[in-house]
Structure 1
Amino acid sequence: MAKPAFLAPLVDLVFPPRCPLCGDALAQQGGLCAACWTQLAVPGEPACSTCQRPLADSVVRSGDVQCAPCMAEPPRHAGIAAATLYNDASRELVLAFKRGKRIALADLLSRLMVRSLPELQGEWLVVPVPLHRWRLWERGFNQSALLAARIARTIQQPLVVDGLVRQRRTPSLGGLGKRARAEALRGAITPHPGRAARLKGAKVLLIDDVMTSGATTDACLAALRKAGAGEVRIACFARVLNESLDHAGQGEPPLAA
């Protein structure tokens, strides 16, 4: 929740605004210093119209250009909106947010995610990627749910925070290959029985902090399809491109899940 404007000077006096990446002083809370802004890799054009994968500059800039992976294996989602491409700067922000428990960063990350979203027509249910209850207990919060709540409020769409449930605790995906990640998540994520009627036929905006190989979002997509959801779009703060993964089997970033 945003603090009242009249409290801002007091908050800034007690907690001087600092860049969450480098620690330099800022004029106000909630942003990055100029140098650190330039370290974020923001997706641009030309890019795949489906998955937002950057394409070579020689590619004709057209709204329907697709990358080779999407043409070879059409995705089951209606598009990916990533605020940044995964690099050292975005990794440090997510680590500070998720592992460092600096939940105030949800405001900054969600603002950047909203900027990456296409115009959404009609009603969309905003649904976060779920955490297993034991991991939620250990961490104290679901980072995707915090982002989803802020995004839903900003775009004025309904939030269904428990639309999906992670029924069993899955192992850390770091170091697992693509097949192993998919197997680890098989059947782990299901639609919430009490939200089935709301999900049926609905357009869903699925929220995650980092999208890596797509194993987690694929499991969520399968669960949403089981519930009868209609169009599903994915929004994340940082996207790891497949070609940046180590194909020897160390592809998943250490901050996954």
Structure 2
Amino acid sequence: MRMQAAVHLVYPPQCLSCDALVTTDFGLCARCWRETPFIAGLVCDCCGTPLPGEETGGPVQCDDCLAIARPWSRGRAAMLYKDNARHLVMALKHGDRLDLARPAAGWLLRVAQPLLAPDALIAPVPLHWLRLLKRRYNQSALLAGALARLTDLPHCPDLLIRHRNTRSQEGRDRDGRFRNLDGAIRLHARRRWQVEGRPILLVDDVMTSGATLAACAEACLAAGAARVDVLVLTRVAKDG
């Protein structure tokens, strides 16, 4: 404790998102906290998007999840993909801010409680090796690993393989996103024994249409997973 206090005297904690001083490590200042759209209250049980109304104790689904057959069972999201949440995701994904994985895992844990089965295996959405070589790390694997440490659940960073280098999903409509991922993800052949008969918790940084998570979930279910749940740091949600 004395050592930490001494370090704080020399290097006082700064906001994760700006240079403002804060009272604890890995925290947000008051302004950045207000600008970070954390999700709370009634949410879609399948994708985690916030819904109007009060919690009634039973599961409810958003219009998208009612219209699309999701291969996974339940889903949660920590934040909406906008404002400061988008800034944090972009910093983690493209700005070499690997330090963000630790606090982000805490935000994931806050919403993940309904998904944390005692025998669950945590796995990230994979990157193609060419993209991994360029970026040097998989941000989803960082999130999944940090969450596994907080929950004491096993983590398999290479459970899934993106064997086809899909083009960017940006600018594609929902159907185009699903076509782009068709047949692109499969289970690592040497990891099948870890999947059979157990629940899988997939972790990603952003969910838009759900096409990538659907491809991952289908690969796990085809290998014999008992069920698949999904957990994302941010969820793209329709305004209004």
| TM-score over 0.5 (shorter chain) | yes
Show the counterpart of 1:85. 80
Show the counterpart of 1:193. 189
Show the counterpart of 2:93. 98
2:227 maps to 1:235: no
Report the Cα distance in structure 2 between the residues aligned to 1:122 and 1:28, rounded to whole angstroms: 31
Cα deviation, residue 172, structure 1: 1.4
Report the Cα distance in structure 2 between the residues aligned to 1:80 and 1:181, rounded to whole angstroms: 19
Report the secondary structure of 1:233's partner residue. strand
Within 5 Å, which residues of 2 pair with 1:172-183?
172-183=168-179
State the Cα deviation string for residues 73-127 of structure 1 (Å, max 9, x = none).
3422111111111111101001111111010110111110011112423300000
Report the Cα distance in structure 1 between the residues aligned to 2:191 and 2:12, rounded to whole angstroms: 43
2:175 maps to 1:163: no
Report the secondary structure of 1:209's partner residue. strand
Cα deviation, residue 45, structure 1: 2.2
Report the Cα distance in structure 2 between the residues aligned to 1:121 and 1:109, rounded to whole angstroms: 20
State the Cα deviation string for residues 4-32 of structure 1 (Å, max 9, x = none).
x6653465456442213232112232111
> Could you tell which deviates more after superposition, 13-22 or 38-47?
13-22
Cα deviation, residue 213, structure 1: 1.3
Which letter does structure 2 place at the counterpart of 1:100? G
Cα deviation, residue 174, structure 1: 1.0
Report the secondary structure of 1:118's partner residue. helix
2:61 maps to 1:34: no
Classify 1:177/1:72 alpha carbon distance in 2 versus 1 (closer, same or farther; 3 Å). Answer: closer
Show the counterpart of 1:254. none
2:43 maps to 1:47: yes
Report the Cα distance in structure 2 between the residues aligned to 1:178 and 1:22, rounded to whole angstroms: 34
TM-score (norm 1): 0.85
Instruction: Indicate conservation of the 8 Å contact 2:75/2:229, yes or no.
Output: yes
Within 5 Å, which residues of 2 pair with 1:5-154?
8-9=4-5, 11-12=7-8, 15-57=11-53, 61-119=56-114, 120-154=116-150
Report the Cα distance in structure 2 between the residues aligned to 1:14 and 1:181, rounded to whole angstroms: 49
Report the secondary structure of 1:206's partner residue. strand
2:213 maps to 1:217: yes
Report the Cα distance in structure 2 between the residues aligned to 1:7 and 1:173, rounded to whole angstroms: 47
Cα deviation, residue 142, structure 1: 0.7
Report the Cα distance in structure 1 between the residues aligned to 2:75 and 2:56, rounded to whole angstroms: 18
Equivalent residues, number: 238
Instruction: Indicate conservation of the 8 Å contact 2:41/2:55, yes or no.
Output: no
2:208 maps to 1:206: no
State the Cα deviation string for residues 188-231 of structure 1 (Å, max 9, x = none).
11000000121112200101011111111111112112211121
Which letter does structure 1 place at the counterpart of 2:236? V
Give the root-mean-square deviation of aligned CA atoms. Answer: 1.9
State the Cα deviation string for residues 115-163 of structure 1 (Å, max 9, x = none).
1112423300000001111111111111111111111111111111110
Instruction: Indicate conservation of the 8 Å contact 1:36/1:89, yes or no.
Output: yes
Percent identity of the aligned residues? 39
Unmatched runs of 5 consecutive residues or more in structure 1: 245-257
Report the secondary structure of 1:197's partner residue. helix
